[in-house]
């Protein structure tokens, strides 16, 4: 289970994000980046953040700690921005939070060299989860305390938008030609040798157990949240074994 906190104050919208994430303070005195369950992208974006974020963490990649944030829609009553107020109003209940990395810088490939080993691990991981949102235009990488941190795993696992077609979709190759780290000679072969053995059924069961039940109900074709958890694990397990041979577009 992810740690559960209760939002006590809405601080400000984070203007950079397309989904308009917000900054909130919670009852544990922490400051969190909040991704709203009522955002237009829908709750599947939040499921993807949890599955991919918790998988990344278990593979040794740096991602901010994830929590669930209980939100009382009344918190938005004093919010002057109409768009933010409507998001707060439609996001009562369980939302996703992540530790706010205060003072983090956006990734600049010219100012921050990345080793082929680290670039390889990130590209391999993005191929595994089919991340289409780590391009040089929008890297979703942060530099914090001298290290590279991964954020924003909402646009991944495209197959979860069409479960009947999951096998064909998850068998597709990954195009890394626009990847933010493509120019750092990513050593994908070493990354695959190191990380593939870690992606086991047991690890994926632990990862998918972190998804809150509230985001898994009423999915057509799935009777119970645990059935859907297994559906998330299966294509990742299959893809882990083969994806290093299906990464295209690297020189
Ligand atoms: N945990 C964090 N700590 C500090 N800054 C963060 C954190 N998470 C996100 N940010 C900043 O906020 C921006 C928007 O966050 P994120 O990319 O997760 O939102 P999004 O709405 O999914 O964005 P996109 O526009 O890429 O779809 C990031 O690019 C980054 O600059
Ligand atoms: Mg982003």
Report the C-alpha gap between 177 and 60 in whole angstroms: 24
Q: How far is the CA of 151 from the centre of ligand 1 (A)?
A: 6
CA-atom Rg of the chain in angstroms: 18
Report the C-alpha gap between 69 and 187 in whole angstroms: 37
Predicted TM-score (pTM) of this structure: 0.97
Comparing CA positions, the residue from 166, 178, 99, 191 lying closest to residue 131 is 178
Q: Which ligand is nearest to the CA of 20?
A: 1
Ligand 1 atom nearest to 104, measured from its CA: 4
Q: How far is the CA of 203 from the centre of ligand 1 (A)?
A: 27
Q: What is the pLDDT along the chain (251 residues), one digit of tens a residue?
A: 999 999 999 999 887 767 789 999 999 999 999 999 998 888 999 999 999 999 999 999 999 999 999 999 888 888 888 888 999 999 999 999 999 999 999 999 899 999 999 999 999 999 999 999 999 999 999 999 999 999 999 999 999 999 999 999 999 999 999 999 999 999 999 999 999 999 999 999 999 999 999 999 999 999 999 999 999 999 999 999 999 999 999 98
**Cβ pair 134, 204 in contact under 8 A:** no
Q: In this structure, what token pair is assigned to residue 23?
A: 């900054």
Ligand 1 interacting residues, C-beta cut-off 6 A: 14, 16-19, 21, 33, 64, 98-101, 104, 106, 133, 138, 140, 142, 151-152, 154
Ligand 1 atom nearest to 140, measured from its CA: 29
């Amino acid at each position: 289970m992810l740690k559960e906190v209760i939002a006590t104050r809405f601080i400000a919208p984070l203007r950079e994000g397309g989904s308009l994430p917000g900054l909130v303070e919670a009852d544990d005195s922490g400051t969190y980046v909040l991704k709203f369950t009522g955002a237009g992208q829908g709750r599947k974006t939040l499921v993807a953040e949890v599955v991919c974020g918790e998988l990344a963490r278990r593979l040794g990649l740096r991602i901010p700690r994830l929590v669930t944030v209980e939100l009382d829609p009344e918190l938005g009553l004093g919010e002057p921005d109409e768009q933010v107020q409507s998001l707060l109003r439609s996001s009562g209940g369980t939302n996703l939070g992540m530790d706010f990395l205060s003072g983090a810088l956006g990734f600049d490939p010219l100012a921050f060299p990345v080793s082929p080993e680290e670039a390889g691990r990130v590209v391999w991981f993005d191929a595994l989860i089919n991340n289409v949102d780590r391009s040089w235009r929008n890297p979703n990488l942060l530099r914090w305390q001298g290290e590279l941190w991964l954020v924003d795993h909402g646009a991944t696992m495209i197959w979860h938008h069409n479960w009947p077609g999951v096998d064909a979709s998850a068998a597709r190759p990954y195009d890394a030609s626009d990847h933010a780290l493509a120019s750092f000679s990513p050593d994908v072969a070493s990354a695959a040798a190191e990380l593939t053995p870690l992606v086991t059924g047991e690890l994926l069961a632990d990862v998918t157990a972190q998804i809150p039940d509230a985001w898994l109900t009423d999915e057509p074709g799935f009777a119970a949240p645990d059935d859907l958890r297994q559906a998330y694990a299966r294509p990742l397990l299959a893809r882990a074994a083969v994806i290093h041979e299906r990464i295209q577009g690297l020189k």
